[in-house]
Every structure is written in structure tokens, then in C-alpha cells.
A and B are shown apart, each in its own frame.
Chain A
Amino acid sequence: MPKLGERVLRVRSKNAGPFWVTVDIFCGTPEVFGELKTGLRTETVAALFQQPSQLVKRFDIADLNVIKFSFPRPVVQGARADRDMHGAQWATLLAELDMRD
């Protein structure tokens, strides 16, 4: 089964301030963007990051062929239980997501 990361240009994640993380999927083409716009459910992404889906903000940006998700960090940046100060490794979870054809 192909991974999401193999279908798109790039997936990245980063803190948006100490209390949020934002994940950007650069789809690369309108075709892949269209496919993910309908095929990638917000609930799937929320489950991946163990977030209630009502807390996940989603932006489908056709002009850039980008799909963006932002959600509050379950652990505040740098708090005792934080494991990734910049939140940049979180993107791997989405890049490794199995895609159904």
C-alpha cells in the first residue's frame, strides 16, 4: 500500500507558537490535491495525532495545492512530558500513513 509521503511533494510539521502544532502537506499537483482533499479525512489525521477531531483546524488551499492541519499541542512545547521541542518529527506519522488506492 503506498504511503501518503510517496504521493506528495513533502509533509512537514512545526510548532505554531508553544501551544500549537501545524502540519502542511504539499501535494505538488492539482490531481493529488483533489485526491487528498476528498480522500484524506480530518478524523483520520486527528486519530493519528490522538486529537479530538473538533480541535483540528483544516485548510484546503487549492492555490498552493496544500492541505494544512493545525491543532493544540497535547503537551505544551518544552513541558516535562514533551518529547519533540519543535514538533517537526510529527510529520512522519502523516507521511507514513497508508493510502488506499
Chain B
Amino acid sequence: MPTRVLVPTGALGITFDRAALARGIAAKPDIIAVDGGSTDSGPFSLGSGTSKYSRAATKSEWRDLMVARAEAGVPLVVGTSGTCGTDSTVDWMYDITREIAAELGQRIKVARLYSSQPADRVTKALAAGRVQPLSPAPPISAETLATMRNIVALAGAEQVQAALATGADIVIAGRTTDTAIISALPLARGEHAGAAWHGAKVGECGALCTTNPTGGVVLIEFDREGFTVEPLVEGAICTPDSVSAHMLYENSDPFILYEPGGHLDVTAARYDALDGRCVRVTGSRWVPGRYTVKLEGAALVGYQTSILAVLRDHRYVANAQRWVDELHAYLTDQIAKRMGLGAEAYALEFRLIGMNSALGDMENRQGEPVEVGVLGLITAPTAELAEEIGKLINPYVLHYPLTKDEELPTFAFPYSPAQSERGPFYEFALNHIMELADPMEAFRLEVSEVGYA
């Protein structure tokens, strides 16, 4: 019996095609799997333990999936709940699920898979030589681990299988690999292991592997030899190129993909077009290895305040770099004199929008912009200090002259106040793997019934 996995979208929260979802349910899937997270938007989600997407968007999409699940009578799994997959975002997703179950009058069994890691677990594993750096990795120690706001481990297929084995209707998983929620059931049912992981990789971004990437929904059918991917959005097709090219996406190596317990090798994979719409893939290989899970961590670096001004005066636009360099030196001096703060106690950076704000030193083009945006970024140990520096520099960012003998210029400020608090600033601080003796050693399962009795 083949195993059919319905993937509604590449990310819960960015919507999907409802008609295609209905087509997917009609095709009788064995499971519905959707990814709820990514590191794409940066370290803030993990640092703060909050979702990037709005609760309203998440709830409306999750509600439709819960209705579809009840109709199909199969499990529904969300991986990396709430963008970062910390315990707090699993609980957030659980809360949403309970609310919807009550509203829909559903009585369902929910398994929560928790992936957050207490720092001392990682510290002990580090001391025991069971934590290894990937390349490149920030240096870590017991001290740095203790200061991280959140650490998660990426669960693989085994932990998702354990959650499914509870008989849950819905699995709300914390951080998992993007692929594990899709590969778990096919692997548990003995489908081809290389195909299970390769098909999961192809499907993890939803319809990105089709010719209509915005539509969402795909169905992947796994069997003992390979997998077949079928797009469900009206008019969308999969071609051998659209499917094989997906291994390029967000992957540093397009042939190898590391997962807990081994790696996928697609060097010898064959992609065949079926009926002009579906693609059949065979020849993918799973190579078993040590059981390791990848770690992600975010550390609080400080608090930021930003300030934005726009130069439109031609002389200032033409001399923007010199102006900002002189302004920076002047401000460093003023901050030292008036606040008693040396340059090591905070960070102040200006970026010139219209010149090189996206690429910095790598920028190799020059133009004659009409205007230049001046984005000032202040990072300090406390929010109060960052804001205080923002207020101190505000009048100079507004009026700093190129020469001493001219009337003070006044640049364009788009807001009042010109400076805005950006809140806590986090950085990714782990790129490591942790070896486990047992896949569930670093993960926790909670099972409960929700909705009306």
C-alpha cells in the first residue's frame, strides 16, 4: 500500500488554495503535513519564542486544515509550530487548536512534541563530547549556552513517529527538520527510505516544486521504490526540472541532505514525467549514520533603537558618505562627552539607503541617487540606553552641516519622534549537532483530549 502525504502549503500562515485542498482530501491522503516555521526571517522568532505570523492568519488556516482533517479522518501534523518551534510556540499553537476544536465542536486527541532544550542538557552533552560544531559555527561554552534565550533541537522522523504512535488526531510539533513531518509516516510504513526523505524535501515548500509556486497544495505518494509528486492547484504541473531543481533551493549542497540518523543522497535519482502533470522519482538513496540532531539557539545581544532621515539636498546627496562619516565621528565624541560612554559600550552604525545599504562593502556600483536615506542603528545593553542615545543623536542627524560656515541644514524626518525603539536584538548562536543515544532523549511528548466531551 502506498502512503499518500498531503502538503497544503510550504508554511502555515501564508495561505493556500482551498479548492486544491478539497481535491487533496478527495484523493484520500494518509496524513496531512504542514510546516509552521523556518529560520528565514531571522533570529527574532527564536530569541523571543514567538510566531512571526499573526495569530489570526494562523488560526484561519489551521481551522480549515482541522475541518479537512476531520473529513479525511487522518492525522494532521504541523512541524516547527509558530515559526521557531520553541515550547512557548507549541503551547501557542495548542491554545489555538483548543479554541478551534471548541468552536467546531470537535473532540480530538492532540499530541504535543516539545523540542526546547534546557541549556544544562546541552552543556552536559558538550562536556561529554556529544556536541560537535558544523561549519561555520560560533564558539560555545557553558557560559554562552547559559545566556541563550532559547535553544531548540530539530526533531527527525523518529520523534514525529512517536507522536503519531499515540494515536493522535493532531500532532503539534516543536522544531523539526522541514522534511521530518512528511517522511515520518512513509518511513513508519516501510516505504523506500531514500524516496521518503527525497519526496519530503521536494514537498516541504509545498508547490514550490511545481510550475505554479504560489498555489500551495501538493500530494506525494510514496511506495517501496520511489515517490510520485502531484500538484493539485488548477493548471499547475510538475516537470522533471521543476522537481529536481527544488533540491537547489535553500540547500548548500544540491545532492546531499543531512537528517537525524543519516543522510539523503540524490546523486543517482531519476526523474520521469508521468502524464505531463506528475513526476515519478526513483534512485534516491538513504545512508544511515550516527543519530544526531541539529541545534539552534538565539542569544540576546542587546536592545536596538533606529533613526531614519532622508537627504534630498543635492550637495548632501553628492557628499553623503563624507557627511555620514563626519557625523559618526562627531556623535561618538558627543556620546562620550555627554553620557560618559566609550564606543565599546554601545554600537552605532549608519547605512545609506540609495547607495549601499543592501550590500555594504560588496556593492560595486555607483549612481546618482535623487535622495539618500540615512538609517541609524543603535544597539546598547538596555532599551533605555539605546533610546537615550537615539534622543541624544536626534538633533545632529537632523541638522549636521557639511561645513562650519553654512546655515544649519534640516533634513527630512519621516516620523515623530525620529527615533523608534526596536526592542530586544537577538543573534543565532548555535550551528551544532548533538548526538543522542535515544531519539526521544531530548524531546518530550504530551497527549491530551481537547474540545467537547
Contacts and interface: CB of A to CB of B under 8 A. Distances in A.
Contact of B427 (A20, A80, A92): A80
A78 B427 CA distance: 6
B254 A83 contact: no
Contacts of A16: 250-252
Interface in B326-379: 347, 349, 351, 357-362, 364-365, 377, 379
A83 B358 contact: yes
A80 B349 CA distance: 9
A15 B40 CA distance: 8
B138 A57 contact: no
Given A16-B250, A22-B252, A59-B254, A76 B428 contact: yes
Interface residues of B, number: 41
Interface size class of A (residues with CB under 8 A): 35 or more
Identify which of A18, A24, A49, A66 gathers the most chain B CB atoms within 10 Å of its CB.
A18
A82 to B, nearest CB: 8
A18 B252 contact: no
Interface string A54-86: 000101010110101010100011111101111
A14 B347 CA distance: 27
Contacts of B359: 83-84, 89-90, 92-93
A68 B254 CA distance: 9
B429 to A, nearest CB: 9
Given A64-B241, A72-B135, A89-B359, A22 B427 contact: no
Nearest to B427: A79
A68 B248 contact: yes
Contacts of A15: 39-40, 250
Contacts of B351: 83
Identify which of B41, B252, B349 gathers the most chain A CB atoms within 10 Å of its CB.
B252
B405 interface: no
Contacts of B361: 50
Contacts of B255: 59
A59 B255 CA distance: 10
A78 B42 CA distance: 5
A80 B241 CA distance: 38
A26 B377 CA distance: 37
Contacts of B438: none
Nearest to B41: A85
Contacts of B251: 16, 22
Nearest to B42: A78
A70 B244 CA distance: 18
Interface of B: 39-44, 134-138, 241, 244-245, 248-255, 301, 347, 349, 351, 357-362, 364-365, 377, 379, 425-428, 431
Interface of A: 14-20, 22, 24, 26, 48-50, 57, 59, 61, 63-64, 66, 68, 70, 72, 76-81, 83-86, 89-90, 92-93, 96
Given A17-B39, A68-B254, 10 more contacts: A18-B39, A19-B134, A64-B241, A68-B248, A72-B136, A77-B39, A78-B42, A79-B427, A86-B40, A90-B362
5 contacts: A50-B361, A59-B255, A66-B248, A79-B427, A85-B40
